[in-house]
Amino acid sequence: MALQSLDIKRRSATTTPPPGVRKSPEVAKLIDISKCIGCKACQTACMEWNDLRDDIGKTTGIYDNPRDLDENNWTVMRFSEVELERGKLEWLIRKDGCMHCGDPGCLKACPAPGAVIQYSNGIVDFHEESCIGCGYCITGCPFDIPRISKKDAKAYKCTLCSDRVSAGVEPACVKTCPTGAITFGAKEEIIHHANGRIADLKGRGFANAGIYDPEGVGKTHVMYVLQHADKPGIYSNLPENPGISPMVSLWKGAAKPLASLALGAVAAGAFFHYVTKGANEVSEEIEKEFENEKR
Amino acid sequence: MKNDKDKIARFTPAERVNHWVLALTFILLALSGLVFFHPSFYFLNNLFGGGVWARILHPFIGIVMAISFAAMFFKFKGENVLTPGDREWLKHAREMFEGDDSHMPEAGKFNAGQKLLFWLLLLCMALLLLSGLIIWRRYFSNIFPVWMVRFASLLHAASGAGIIALIMGHIYLAIWTRESMGAMLYGYVRRAWARQHHPAWFRQVNGEEK
């Protein structure tokens, strides 16, 4: 839920500058997958702080619970068992949720003014009061994050606890994480911290350890430390090179203003054709012919 | 009017009713569709009771339009088959727009321009219906892969803009060609009008009458 704010960087379906007189430093949340034990405390803390309660679901025989994101579950742990080297099983647990992209596909696709807001600190927030429920944010998102509620047909996703952050405290999931796998702060400092973690992992045999902060979406404000940064796909299909689909860029880019102008040109062309050439009437000749026939 | 010797029947009451159902649904769809097209048209949502209502109503009206167009298609498809003469007609269309229709090949019930419109409308309608179902989030989008929803969104916007341009042209030509609107409103046209604009059709009807 978006807050009233003077540090808005971008606003969906808006062609004039949003209120952005105030600037705040870029923030980031870092999820260190090598430290995650899959306890799901973050899921619980998220529901607790945001006061969301899903219906009790079904156990499907795997650790993922609930099975997917929805309007009540803005973050879920995705468990995958991977054997990169024979006999060396790795249990990779990825906390999935909104990545708070620098160039958000949801915001680009949204047709409702102000339903998606990007703050100057990098948080991308949905303002459900302005949401019309079309689901274009789902179409635009490169990470398959937003979900439309079956009850109220509004789109919901992680807010990065924009309410907490605006009051100077960390997101609920960060606060609760018992192993320190989730950290939060100024993006610059968090990247510094991540580099320390990566150096440590490399020293312990994870040669391809690295940070996940993809360029294609203008970098993100939720980042991962991956033991195998060369293979993000093994972390429950984390996209290797995420970006706004060219189809979405074309759909929401230059094509529409140009088409709008073209439609205006058709109307103007028709009007001026009438003004310059006059109406297409039955010729005098034929009119006379029929007059004579009548007599 | 029915017994007026000076007039000939052009469209039946059923054809006229269906045409205006189609016209009404088209206008509602164009206005509600533009809401999602570009922010500069977002204000049009007020005509439908807000953005949420525009989003809810648009696809249902679309279904009505698709049914109405299907009826029109099956009624008129035979009369809209393009012939070699139509190619000739299109070649001279420019002169006609300049105000000189003396070289126009004789048009039948529908001229080549109208036939072309008919087939382009069919294309747009088919694309709009198929892509529209795929991007109907409430019922269908979740069963399609996201790349397909993206492609359908693009296609829906493009064919929507296309059909709006076609219908703007259609409306203008109905205004420009005096008295043609009467055919769709009342069903009849004057014999002189038919002789002028659709001579081959005029002779055909005349032959049948005599």
State residue B42's pLDDT score. 97
- pLDDT level of residue B101 (50, 70, 90 thresholds): confident
Q: Which residue has the higher pLDDT, A288 or A107?
A: A107
Between positions 42 and 61 of B, the ones with CB within 8 A of A are 42, 45, 50-52, 54-55
Mean pLDDT of A10-23: 94
Question: Rounded mean pLDDT of B147-153?
Answer: 97
Q: What is the pLDDT of residues B110-132, one digit of tens each?
A: 999 999 999 999 999 999 999 99
Answer whether A289 sits within 8 Å of B150, measured CB to CB. Answer: no
Residue A207 has pLDDT above 80, yes or no: yes
Residues B51-55, mean pLDDT to the nearest whole number: 98
Look at residue B136 and give its three-state secondary structure: coil
**φ and ψ of A236, to 5 deg:** 50, 50
Which pLDDT belongs to residue B210?
54
Nearest-CB residue to B146 (from A139, A266, A282): A139
Q: Are A80 and A238 a contacting pair, CB within 8 Å?
A: no
Least confident of A36-40, A94-98, A215-219, B85-89: B85-89
What pLDDT is recorded for position A59? 87
DSSP state for residue A204 in the 8-state scheme = T
pLDDT at residue A287 is higher than 60: yes
CA distance A8 to B127: 38
Yes or no, beta carbons of B191 and A274 under 8 Å apart: no
Mean pLDDT for A32-61 is 95
A179 close to A35: Cβ distance less than 8 angstroms: yes
- The number of angstroms, rounded, from the C-alpha of A280 to the middle of its chain's C-alpha atoms is 54
pLDDT single digits (tens) A256-274: 999 999 999 999 999 999 9
Name the H helices within chain A. Answer: 41-50, 105-109, 136-140, 162-166, 172-176, 187-203, 246-252, 255-277, 284-294
Asked if residues A71 and A156 have their Cβ atoms less than 8 Å apart, the reply is: yes
Alpha-carbon distance of B174 to B182, in angstroms, equals: 10
Active-site positions of B read 170
Q: Which residues of B touch A148 (CB under 8 A)?
A: 137
Q: For the beta carbon of residue A228, count every other beta carbon within 10 angstroms.
A: 20
Q: What residues in A contact B45, CB-CB < 8 Å?
A: 132
How many CB atoms sit inside 10 A of residue A289's CB? 13
Q: Where are the domains of chain B?
A: 9-209
- As given in the structure block, the two tokens for residue A19 are 């209120």
**Which of A134, A256, A270 shows the shortest C-beta gap to B55?**
A134
| CB contact A46 to B (< 8 Å) | no
Answer whether residue B1 shows pLDDT above 50: no
Average pLDDT over residues B183-201: 94
Q: Is any Cβ of chain A less than 8 angstroms from the Cβ of B158?
A: yes
Q: Closest chain B residue to A145 measured between Cα atoms?
A: B146
Domain B9-209 class?
A: mainly alpha
Distance CA A244, CA B32 (A): 26
Nearest to B69 by CA among B117, B110, B113: B117
A114 touches chain B (CB under 8 A): no
State the smallest CA–CA distance between residue B170 and chain A in angstroms.
10
Instruction: Nearest chain A residue to B34 by CA: give it.
Output: A260
Q: What is the mean pLDDT of residues A120-128?
A: 97
CB spacing of A278 vs B99 below 8 angstroms: yes
Is B161 at the interface with chain A, CB within 8 A? yes
Using the Cβ of A276 and the Cβ atoms of chain B, whether some distance falls under 8 Å is answered with: no
- Using a CB-CB cut-off of 8 Å, the residues of chain A touching B138 are 133, 153
CA distance B77 to chain A (A): 26
**Which residues on chain A are in Cβ contact (under 8 Å) with B149?**
138-139
Q: From CA B160, how far away is CA B7, in angstroms rounded? A: 37
Every domain of chain A and the residues it spans:
8-244, 254-294
Nearest by CB: B192 against A130, A132, A286: A286
Of B37, B97, B135, which has the smallest distance from its Cβ to A273's Cβ?
Answer: B97
Count, residues in chain B: 210
Contacts 24+ apart (CB under 8 A), B56-59: B57/B28, B57/B32, B58/B29, B58/B32, B58/B33, B59/B132, B59/B136, B59/B138
Distance from CA of A114 to the nearest CA of B (A): 11
Q: Return mean pLDDT, chain A.
A: 95
pLDDT of B3 reads 57
Side chain identity at residue A151, one-letter code: K
pLDDT for A1 equals 67
Least confident of A12-26, A209-223, B59-73, B196-210: B196-210
Q: What is the mean pLDDT of residues A27-43?
A: 97
Q: Which of B137, B153, B192 sits opposite A290 (nearest CB)?
A: B192
Interchain contact, B165 vs A266, CB within 8 Å: yes
In this structure, which topology does domain A8-244 adopt according to CATH?
A: Alpha-Beta Plaits (3.30.70)
Q: How many CB atoms lie within 10 A of CB B143?
A: 9
For residue A34, the tally of other CB atoms under 10 A from its CB is: 19
* C-alpha A214 chain-centroid distance: 13
Q: What is the ipTM of this complex?
A: 0.93
Residues 89-108 of B with CB under 8 A from A: 96-99, 101
Cβ atoms of residues B131 and A247 within 8 Å: no
pLDDT of res. B103 = 85
* Nearest partner of A127 among A113, A139, A116, judged by Cα: A116
Please give the torsion angle defined by the CA atoms of residues A241, A246, A252 and A253, in that order, rounded to the nearest 10 degrees. 110
Taking only the tens place, the pLDDT of each residue in A130-173 is 999 999 999 999 999 999 999 999 999 999 999 999 999 999 99
- As a whole number of angstroms, the distance between CA A250 and CA A246 comes to 6
- Burial, A131: exposed, middle or buried (Cβ in 10 Å; 0-12, 13-18, 19+)? buried
Q: Please give the pLDDT value at position B209.
A: 65
What average pLDDT does the structure give for chain B? 94
Share of chain B residues as helix, strand and coil, in percent rounded to the nearest 5: 75, 5, 20
Region A269-293: mean pLDDT is 90
Residues in chain A closer than 8 A to B54 (CB atoms): 132
pTM for the whole structure: 0.93
Interface test with B, best of A282, A291, A293 (most B CBs within 10 A): A282
